[in-house]
A and B are shown apart, each in its own frame.
Chain A
């Protein structure tokens, strides 16, 4: 343990996460005071707005009459600022009401150490604002009452301080239930927050480290007196408040006016526990507070009303749920749109029909074979190397797609699907491996059947069109993949025939794709529709996807090229 007072604080800071952040903030609040007066003003305007002002005014009046009220008001303010400071570290000024003493406050911090040892009970005499001057002193003086004013004694209360601050930290760490706390009953949570504030104050008053004593003479005074009376129950005390601090709302729930109901709740529920714990100090504070609160406001009607208004600013369960529901609805809507988009999303459909995986496998084969060709080129004699290159080039030329030529002679006596199958077989007659086109023919048949049926809307025709194009393309890619595999295991290669066959097959397949696209767009055009624009968009998309399909098919063909080439070298 460091021996100096300031070191103590530092080490405490390092060791105890968020509590000590609070502590630090509080200390900051004294030193940064002048800056923060403005900010705090703004902040409180933002957060509490007019309500707060309204609340403040009566309080200011009361302040002159009763100290107790003033205390709480200030404390509330400060608490609120604490909350603000979670987002703005620098923004941790104490209450506005003390804003006329910034420099004093800074000095107080500096002087603190000197005076603290000498002046154990100095601040207990003070009331109201003057207290603020002695703020720093206050803490240390409170540390001392049960012992002699020596610097070394600073450390004596520390375990308690730590214990309390630790627990405070835990409490504020647990404050995740904040929103729900409000939701369940905003009043209650304000109340518990209020308790936290009180207990916080009291425990601080007892253990006397924290600077919450600002202008809060009464409870501290009481606490100190109590402590003077009974020096033993100190640990006990730090234990008891901790329990109340465990409320999930502790730490961030401080709000203006929270103390009001905080006290009521305190008296109603927690009070019993606390009193049972022997904390008559708290009881005294509670009673006193009730008197103060009820002064001119029997039944706390006004203050409750203020609270009610105050609660309007905060998330309420129903509001939270409404927002959550609308968010969920929005997400559902987006999901549904995405699902719909996906349903007619060409690439997804192509993947679903295993086109992608066949393309991937074909690509793997193609690369592997390309490597083998390169290997052969490298290992070949220099004079042979040129021959190989020429051969490779020749094969590539064989596989160039012919220009659009002869219009197909439509044979009237066979069906479209049969004609399609015939063309495929004719194209691949000399390839030397047995290719299967049944799946392509079957798919074509199904598409034609579907088109000849009635009861189609623009949307369903469009969906079916994209799906059919994706499926036909996937099946075509599969044919290339299978052909490549079979060619690779074919004992005797005939590269020229193979190349010609695959080129012809590619021609047939790309024509098939445009035939499919045409069939579906013709179907769309026959539909009676009010939404001509939408139909035009559909038609454009269908032709776009048909182009996409042709690209896939020609890519697959190009991937097969090395497989054709390796048969020749």
Chain B
């Protein structure tokens, strides 16, 4: 598919908060209550349109288990956006946000747009974290905040798309250098003239993003 931009997202947060379910809801519009534990990282992709431009969101859904922490950290680099997810029915997942945020800030580029997501908003009766607390945390750390439900799809689209809009605005403002793929943004193949440039550019992208690690 031709796209104007490709944004790399990462989804991070404690295990079991619903990261993979959010991704599945966003990419496939379905909910799968029982999900295999994510190993390392899984991928999802979807096209969205912002400002009349086709944008491919390439989403890196990381494993939340502590064991994979060192691995998943190496995937942060080169992400343009991050969804930092907690479970509103589990206070501990909210308490771990600071650690996740530090991790993300340390291992990604400073312009990365971070969206804080309180997931499982459908489970109101079991809520342990008030919406206001999430809002306050987001305000304090300069994040965008939303409560979502991967089950009912409430706010799921919005969470992914609003993040993309923020990134897009940053591109317009010149904050992101779109030519530096370490920023998690690639220019789509439709911008290149040669027919084969799409693949070639993509192949080069691996090297460029990897180079960012050093």
Contact = CB atoms under 8 A, between A and B. Distances in A.
Contacts of B198: 342, 345, 347-348, 351
B203 A363 contact: no
Contacts of A89: none
Interface of A, secondary structure class, is helix
Given A345-B196, A365-B74, A489-B67, A356 B202 contact: yes
A552 to B, nearest CB: 10
Highest count of chain A CB atoms <10 Å: which of B39, B58, B67: B39
A363 B77 CA distance: 12
Contacts of A359: 206
Interface string A332-373: 000000100110011110111010111111011111100100
Contacts of A358: 43
B5 interface: no
A217 B125 CA distance: 94
Interface string B66-102: 0110110011011000000000000000000000000
A368 B210 CA distance: 9
A176 B77 CA distance: 48
Contacts of A448: none
A487 B151 CA distance: 33
Contacts of B205: 356, 360
A367 B198 CA distance: 24
Interface of B, secondary structure class, is helix
Interface string B28-52: 0000000000011101010000000
A347 B203 contact: yes
B206 A348 contact: no
A161 B189 CA distance: 53
A471 to B, nearest CB: 15
A367 B40 contact: no
B43 A357 contact: yes
Contact of A354 (B43, B68, B74, B78): B43
Interface residues of A, number: 30
Contacts of B68: 485, 489
B60 interface: yes
Given A364-B75, A364-B213, A365-B74, A486 B199 contact: no
B199 A367 contact: no
B20 to A, nearest CB: 15
B202 A367 contact: no
Contacts of B202: 347-348, 351, 356
A356 B58 CA distance: 11
A371 B214 contact: yes
Nearest to B78: A364
B200 interface: yes
A351 B67 CA distance: 29
A366 B74 CA distance: 10
A-B pairs with lowest CB-CB distance, top 5: A347-B199, A485-B40, A368-B74, A363-B210, A360-B206
Given A345-B198, A360-B209, 15 more contacts: A338-B195, A345-B195, A346-B199, A357-B58, A359-B206, A360-B206, A361-B43, A361-B60, A363-B206, A363-B209, A367-B213, A485-B41, A486-B39, A489-B68, A489-B71
Interface of B: 1, 39-41, 43, 45, 58, 60, 67-68, 70-71, 74-75, 77-78, 189, 195-196, 198-200, 202-203, 205-207, 209-210, 213-214
